[in-house]
Chain A
Amino acid sequence: MKQKKYWQSFGELKSSENYQERVQDEFGEDLSTDNQDLMGATAPRRDFLKYLGFSTAAAAAAASCEMPVKKSIPYLNKPDSIIPGIPNYYATTYVMDGDAVPVVAKVRDGRPIKIEGNELSAITKGGTSARVQASVLGLYDTARLRYPLAAGKEVSTFDAFDKLVAEGMAKASGSVVLLTGSISSVTTRQVIAQFLAKFPGSKHVQYDALSVSGLLNANAATFGNRAVPSYDFSKAKTIVSLGADFLGTWLSPVEYARQYAAGRKIDQKNPEMSKHIQFESMLSMTGANADDRFVHLPSEEGAVALALYAALGGSVSAPALADERLKKGINMTAASLKASGSASLVVSGSNDTQVQIIVNAINNLLGAYGNTIDWSATLNTRQGDDAAMVQLVQEMNEGKVGALLIQGVNPAYDYCDSKKFESGLAKVAVSVSFNDREDETSVLCKFQIPDHHFLESWGDAEIKTGYLSFIQPTIAPLFKTRAFQTSLLKWSGDQQAYGAYFKAYWLNRFGSQSAWDKALQDGVVETAASASAGSFNGTAVSAAATAIAGVKSPAGKQLVLYPKVAIGSGKEANNPWLQEMPDPITKATWDNYAIISFATAKELGIVVDDNYEVEVTKPVIKIKVGQTEMSLPVLVIPGMHKDVIAVALGYGRSEKSGRASANVGQNVFPLVSFNGSTFSYAAGSVAVEKTATTFKLAYTQTHNQYEGRDEVVREYALSTFKKNPTILADERHKLVEDYASNTGDYAAEGTLYPSHPYPGAKWGMSIDLNSCIGCGACTVACTSENNVAVVGKSEVLRAHEMHWLRIDRYFATYRDDSGNDNLDDLNVVFMPMLCQHCDNAPCENVCPVNATNHSSEGLNQMTYNRCIGTRYCANNCPYKVRRFNWSDYMGADSFADNQKAILDDSVMMMNEDLTRMVLNPDVTVRSRGVIEKCSFCVQRLQEGKLKAKKENRPLETGADGKWDIKTACQQACPTSAIVFGNVNDKNSPVTKIRSEEQTNRVFYSLEQIHVLPGVNYLAKIRNTDRHVGVAEEAHHAAAPAGEHASEPKTEAAH
């Protein structure tokens, strides 16, 4: 009998011996496919029934026989401050990779489980970033080094370790060098000074992988102060950024995002907002938020600054720029800056000293110093000196360094010439690493003594002059780690531990225990000085101008190396939450890649057709810079300069850096170059060629489509909005006329279903698209608060990501009269999308088991234990916000690790006992086969309500700034774009936004389908003269832009 055969693997097709053997194993057989002789089939019906019966019985027996005996073990001696089940909050500070953010750690039953911003801080006002939100997971990182090592072997005690180091140092000849990141801590600086004093000839080198040396050097040249002044974006009417991603990664993004959003919020009665113009080479998150945006080659960054300076009347001759659009843009920018005068701010992300000197000259010319730029408080989180680092590496190679102590930096990975660093390190007699894991540098060091995580540490950070933020431990050290300051104290002969040293120092400075206690409790002590303009010295300007004028644009493609918002320089790369957070622009996860323009794609013969975005398999290109070759997958993104290739830093970590970061992407730090005084994150003369290989990139923007419905976002030009403030309100009014002509009640008349009564609270949310910068802090905060699963790259590729809150990115380009799409004229809109908690929810009435239904408080409730996984609700959701547990991502199954072969190792890492300590005990861990989605943080709603009940008072939902309840996304948002509250409370901000303050900008996504969402949005307003929104001739209704580009298809599908 000849049998038709389906096969899954070659083994099966060829019926190899090995394969035959394997299929004899249990559950290995084929399904019976022949319909002629059922009893003769390999798995006849009777066998099937036998197996079914046996497995049912076995499962029943395994599940039911006995209840496990559980124990309740109370404290022996319960600390006064702890009530099991009630979280404690400790103010502390996130200090990592040049960011310092005052935070509050939520500690539940002794475990830190969530990080919030510290609202008492004047710098951040409670804002956070994705990295801050994710940092709590870093505490439970399985790759952390758990004990000190000497020559790769565990040292049993710290005393033994100290002895070994002391012996080594005594023998070593040459200087002692301490290599750290930027140190903003007052006491640590003092400890370091004490240590250096003990060893004559020793020095301290500060090295930042993402350097701002150029800015520091320029300030040293023009203000005599090698520091970063305070910027105030909220005071600026015109903001010009020359390639600075100040909302995402530049200097102090959380602070700047808050200030920036303050100037972008629209008062309906007097609609004014700042104007933001961005000049850049690639599309950054900040550029995506700009009102007007111009692209240039990386080699032209100086020329653009110089041209702007000349256009403003600076006494320099403007260099020739070829691009007409760019030239027009510079003139337009100059006009806008002149109009704003001292209420202007120009920043540059360049690490070139000369460029920064010109930028300083521009700001000086405008009178920005003393107004939008303040020299009274300088930022201390970036002090690295590139030249000093280069010199150190030179000295190491020359054998002049006897001992090298490395803390918080990883030059073997992120130094531009890491080979030279490694060869130098080999020549150092005593090399000590305080890094938290066996990273690329630590494994080369003779001694490793891991430092605490910041949540286990004492410490302080003087983020800006006069702005102190303290670090206090929220948990006892999990491993045998020691504060690196303690080590320095010990090795300099001071026997006290850093904790005691630190407390003694501050107690002395504050003068009394109560003042010190208060400082520690608040977390921040801030003394603002009156603004200072500094004294500008312009002597360096003409030399800088000459130097810039001498720069020639090299031929060929140019390369830009940029840090991603989530990953930065890669220090926290082993954080699955950050790896899985979609990049704001590319929406790609778990990889870095070469971003290229359409023009470059065309040149390389890469077809960008309708399927381009849907297809995850991407061609790989080979780029060659100097002698370094690298093969990277490509992503085509509009808004790139046509000859620029951009690649993210921070990827390609070593095997020992952790299971989530190992071998993810490629390390492009070797492409960074040193120009004699600073590092350069760009390269010219890049040779590019397409290879035959392909690579799968996991990006999320093509998932969760709106089925062609395009009234999801709304965007208007400021001028349009001023001229016709009710443009959106009128359109919404028309809906009422069309669908509810009798009563005028759109909610009630537009449906056959009865409406829900909301006798008490009715929860609602308002999201301001003007304030949303797309940073993703909300996404990670939601992940952290709600135990959202990490699914790993392989599952993201299959559109199985679980984020309850995603940020949709829309591109919008326009077509000119001749039918060509102008890719330069690009608008990007970010829109947070989460369950809309519809009052007329389409998901609710399709559930066969009523697992999702409506609460009397307006919540669309999801009951996991009722869910049988039909996924009808997800199909019927117009917003595509429901997530299905395709696999046992959280290890909720009673059989541990049964998904090991199916899921990525990073997911298994999340299910280790150590990592699971981060789970929120108030939120159920979902099992396989159920749907989940945003719950409006119902655990917080219940907690807030109970708090009010216990205090016998009405609930506070934001009236007069009093909040019992904030959702995780709202609390994390650095720009306060998200407002949540009780819409039945007339005084709550969300009600006021809807009914008084923003009536002209309020809209509901897809309002015409009458699902009555509980989340409203405020239309995006762009302060530009360009055309914004949908061209009338292109579309009958005001739909989001971007629908209309066709050749090439510029819009990444919604």
Chain B
Amino acid sequence: MNQKRTVFQKYIPALVLLVTLCLSFSLQAQDGKALFNNKCASCHAIDKKLVGPALKGVEDRWDDKAMLYDWVRNSAAVIKKGYPRAVAVYNEYNKVQMTAFPELKDADIDAILGYINTGGAKKDEGASTAAAGGADKAGDDDANLLYGILTLILAVIALILLQVNSNLRKMSDETEGTASAEPIPFYRNKAYIAIFAILLFLGGGYLTFQGAQGLGRSKNYQPEQPIYYSHTVHAGVNQISCLYCHGGAQESKHANIPSVNVCMNCHMGINEYAKGPKIYREDGTEVDGTAEIQKLYKFAGWNPDTKQYSGEGKPIEWIRIHNLPDHVYFNHAQHVNAGKQQCQTCHGEIQKMDEVYQFSDLSMGWCVNCHRETKVQFTDNKFYSIYEKFHEDMKNNKLDSVTVEKIGGTECQKCHY
């Protein structure tokens, strides 16, 4: 009995420490990644220049970390102060001001930096080989694997040390002539079994919970579509506005996949894919753009030679990628028109996706997070004039901005009715 207690006393704290360490590592990485994707990814990549610079090694470039924090929260203020690195970046990128993120705390920024330093590197390796879809998932998995192996090694070491310890004690007991109980093999040691069971329970529970929560979520879902339609070519290279095709996003709850007649507006004239960059499928085969345009003609019932419609077209059966559960009401117009959100905020860098994949997990936590952080067009949109008290507070500097949450944007019946 006595002995048992010592075992518990000794090893339980170590175990707790171990578990906490593992969890905290993955938590930080997780947070950093989410934050990076939410806040940074629409303008930055880790080692590629986009709208803004590649963020790899950003900590080294900024000698004053406090200044970096300030820059993220409000870049204009830092430029005003005349901090040389800030001014240099500002000038280098055509004086495009970085969006301010006043809601990010130091810890959040650390998490993002942590993600850039760790997972980010591997993410890009993955991205260069595979199509953009599975990229950051792969990076993340690698990191987790590393932590897993580390944990395992530490656990084995701990086990060996325990065994050594018990052997030593046994030997010392023997030398001292004290009678000792018959040694119990570790797999029958009740303490070990208990620890193992607890670990199994915690691990299993965590995985079950994660799995259950993930049911119905399909982040990175990238189905093969009836026509290989490249958003890179249309929205990226040719800079066609998203709303040209998805005009419903301004007006309706649905952004709407364009009808075939919208495609034909341009493709009546554009009947071959010749000048653009080469497009590759996931498996590395090249996409014949012209053949894909021919597929469109078939759907439209268009004869490119005679330039006539046969009248025998049929609609294209696209595979739906973004699915919300039936009990969720989501309105594109609310976000795009009233909220002035960029498409990329939720859909990722769509202008760089050949085939579209689901960028965000579209979970409720993801929605609510954004609603907590995003500011509404409080002074610009006259609708909000009815919030007299908030306007008053803003005038008196008691309030600097109004988030979606503040006007009830996280209440149940804003999305569920």
Contacts and interface: CB of A to CB of B under 8 A. Distances in A.
B320 A70 contact: yes
Nearest to A860: B413
Given A76-B261, A84-B248, A935-B413, A955 B317 contact: no
A59 to B, nearest CB: 12
A845 interface: no
Interface string A908-942: 00000000000000111100000000010011001
Interface stretch (A89-97, A358-366, A497-505, A943-951): A943-951
B98 to A, nearest CB: 27
B252 A85 contact: yes
B305 interface: no
Given A86-B251, A864-B327, A923-B417, A953 B383 contact: yes
B260 A77 contact: yes
Contact of A950 (B221, B323, B338): B338
B260 A75 contact: yes
Contacts of B389: 757, 759
Interface residues of A, number: 52
B253 A948 contact: no
Contacts of B385: 954
Given A946-B334, A949-B381, A985-B386, A856 B262 contact: no
B1 interface: no
Contact of A74 (B221, B260, B384, B386): B260
A18 interface: no
A752 B98 CA distance: 48
A939 B333 contact: no
Contacts of B412: 853, 855, 861, 863, 866
B69 interface: no
B375 interface: no
Contacts of A74: 256-260, 315-316, 318
Interface in B211-265: 215-216, 218, 221, 223, 247-248, 251-254, 256-262
Interface in B353-399: 381-387, 389-390
B313 interface: yes
In this complex, the interface size class of chain B, counting residues with CB under 8 Å from chain A, is 35 or more
Given A76-B260, A949-B334, A84 B252 contact: yes
B333 A78 contact: no
Contacts of A539: none
Nearest to A927: B327
B267 to A, nearest CB: 14
A939 B417 contact: yes
A946 B323 CA distance: 22
Contacts of B117: none
B248 A948 contact: no
Nearest to A78: B259
A384 to B, nearest CB: 46
A418 interface: no
Nearest to B250: A950
A64 interface: yes
Contacts of B413: 855, 859, 861-863, 935, 938
B416 interface: yes
Contacts of A946: 331, 333-334, 338
B331 to A, nearest CB: 7
Contacts of A547: none
A73 B316 CA distance: 6
Most buried by A among B256, B261, B329, B417: B417
Contacts of A76: 259-261, 299-300, 313-315
B262 A78 contact: yes
A84 B259 CA distance: 11
B414 interface: yes
Contacts of A729: none
A935 B417 contact: yes
Most buried by A among B221, B333, B385: B333
Contacts of A85: 248, 252-254, 256
A931 B383 CA distance: 33
Contacts of A67: 216, 218, 221, 323
Most buried by A among B327, B329, B333, B413: B413
Nearest to A861: B413
B318 A72 contact: yes
Contacts of A861: 411-413
A292 B381 CA distance: 55
A760 B411 CA distance: 14
Contacts of A759: 387, 389-390, 406-407
Given A76-B261, A760-B408, A865 B327 contact: yes
A924 B390 CA distance: 33
A160 interface: no
A955 B338 CA distance: 14
Most buried by B among A64, A85, A939: A85
Interface in B175-193: none
B99 interface: no
A1049 to B, nearest CB: 41
B337 interface: yes
A923 B415 CA distance: 11
B270 interface: no
A630 interface: no
A846 interface: no
A942 B381 CA distance: 16
A114 to B, nearest CB: 16
Contacts of B333: 946, 950
A69 B318 CA distance: 10
B66 interface: no
B317 A73 contact: yes
A741 B251 CA distance: 52
B39 to A, nearest CB: 25
A861 to B, nearest CB: 4
B63 interface: no
Contact of B261 (A78, A863, A924, A982): A78
Contacts of B218: 67
Interface in A295-319: none
A857 interface: yes
A71 B319 contact: yes
Contacts of B252: 83-86
Interface in B264-316: 299-300, 313-316
Given A73-B316, A863-B412, A866-B412, A924 B326 contact: yes
B61 to A, nearest CB: 41
A921 to B, nearest CB: 9
Nearest to A943: B331
A77 B259 contact: yes
B320 A72 contact: yes
Contacts of B300: 76
A507 interface: no
Nearest to B337: A950
A83 B331 CA distance: 13
Most buried by B among A83, A925, A954: A83
Contacts of A984: 386
Nearest to B247: A83
A830 to B, nearest CB: 28
A74 to B, nearest CB: 5
A36 interface: no
Nearest to A957: B386
B259 A71 contact: no
Given A83-B251, A924-B416, A948 B315 contact: no
Given A859-B413, A950-B333, 19 more contacts: A67-B218, A73-B316, A76-B259, A77-B261, A83-B252, A85-B254, A759-B389, A760-B408, A761-B386, A855-B413, A863-B416, A864-B416, A922-B329, A942-B329, A946-B338, A949-B338, A949-B381, A955-B383, A984-B386
19 contacts: A63-B215, A67-B218, A72-B319, A75-B315, A76-B300, A83-B252, A84-B254, A85-B252, A759-B390, A853-B411, A853-B412, A856-B407, A861-B411, A924-B327, A935-B413, A949-B334, A950-B251, A954-B385, A954-B386
Those 6 A-B pairs whose CB atoms lie nearest each other, nearest first = A85-B252, A75-B259, A78-B259, A856-B408, A949-B338, A861-B413
